[in-house]
Amino acid sequence: MGCWGSKNPTPSNPVSDGETTILGKPLEHINKFYNLGKKLDVGDLATTYMCKQFSTGNIYACKSVRKRLLSSKKEKEVVKTQIEILNRFIGEPNIVQIKGSYEDRSFVHIVMELCTGGDLFDKIEAVVNDQSYYSEKDASEIFRSIMNAVQSFHSKGVIHRDIKPENFVLSSNNEDALLKAIGFENSVCIKDGKGVQDIVGSDFYIAPEALQGSYGKEIDIWSAGVTLYVLLSGRFPFENDDEIKSGKIDLSGGPWVHTSPAAKDLVKPILCCKGNEAKDTPMDNDVLSRMRKFRAVNKFKKLALKVIAESISEKEIKSLKSMFASMDTDKSGTITYEELKIGLNRLGSKLSETEVKQLMEVADVDGNGTLEYLEFISAMMHRQRMAQEEQFYKAFQYFDVDNSGYITRDELERAMKEHDMRDETSAKQIMSEVDTDNDGRINYDEFCAVMRNGTMQPQG
């Protein structure tokens, strides 16, 4: 049966006409049209599967959103909007293509093209493997594809709101593979002259206008500029919200010494076409080294957070999502200390102000002063039944299969394979960056250091 088994998440009971739907069309089972195969990814609300179309035999990706985890009208609208936005970009080369959407009593299924070439950093590795170096010209070509996608968004009244390297993937492993935008969960449709207020996006890539709570299409340009900065230097331009708001970038030292004036001009707030001025000479080796470290450490932390999140039952997730939404009074997507204190008090918590502060400090893994959803889960689990140290230890044990007290490269590769991160080079790179005492293994202290230090932006 290969990867095609009886994994369809669709219930077998028949659907009936007239039921209230999210998509506004009759309920129908996806298994009339597709066979769902192996899992590709597991998120808070959805699981993505490989799927095969019965009529053609073509292989696609199917994102199955569990409806009972959509606890509010707004969350249901987000799913519907995501599908509507994807349908706007049929035929656009640098945007992932939607093939269809289906809804039954338990799930909303979004069928999209299957992109098998990895993310933007895989593209860079492929360039290096092909020509033995990575140049400004390579970065320029990648950035051009990103801006082609951004231009498509804006021409059709869409703000992506989460432009970052992880949200660009290669269509295939072929040399001529296209770079395609994904990750439309935060995207919105706007009308000319009207702004957006709610704060969404990813730390370090978020624009100052978004932090201030009133913005338009310009935030995608800013995030694309941050992405270019990463492509050219292997590090973030800003480390916290205050630095983002200041907009001050140092392009004088480190990796920028050998960078062309045209590239530096492109990184600055006003972006312009780079054209043929990009140099086709190898960048400083330190840039590629930093970029690999940047990618490896972040990939490891993402995997560990997945392990923690997947250990929580569906019932707990639904309860915590409702709790998170009720505490997030300004609908920013994050919870401040004040919101946490007021929310806990409303729920009848007897925690003192000092204890709430301690809870906030423990759960704020990335140290940015607010709790994102995964951090909130960590905080509530800390309050209800376990400390963060215990969560980390539980995740560590997942990797440490033989209970030796260390994570070996074989054990790391096993975990990566289970979560479809089948990149041996990444496993090797993760080991070299996380294993700070260079004994060939990751001990518990090294593991916790990654989890506590957020993205662990590489220095030097």
Closest C-alpha among 11, 25, 28, 120 to residue 66: 11
Backbone angles phi, psi at 92, to 5 degrees: -80, 120
Alpha helices in 184-277 (DSSP H): 208-212, 218-233, 241-246, 261-267
Numbers of helices and strands, H then E, in the chain: 16, 11
Distance CA 396, CA 134 (A): 35
Rounded to whole angstroms, what are the CA distances from 305 to 91, 105, 300, 434?
Answer: 35, 30, 9, 16
Q: Which two tokens stand for residue 182?
A: 């994904």
82 contacts 44 by C-beta, under 8 angstroms: no
Q: Furthest-apart CA pair in the chain: how many Å? A: 66
Distance CA 154, CA 163 (A): 13
Alpha helices in 3-111 (DSSP H): 73-88
Task: Please identify which of the residues 104, 119, 138, 162 carries the catalytic annotation.
Answer: 162
Torsion sign across C-alpha atoms 155, 160, 164, 170: negative
HEC assignment per residue over 322-377:
HHHHHHCCCCCCCECHHHHHHHHHHCCCCCCHHHHHHHHHHHCCCCCCCECHHHHH
Tell me whether residue 162 is one of the annotated catalytic residues: yes
136 contacts 279 by C-beta, under 8 angstroms: yes
Q: Return the active site residues.
A: 162
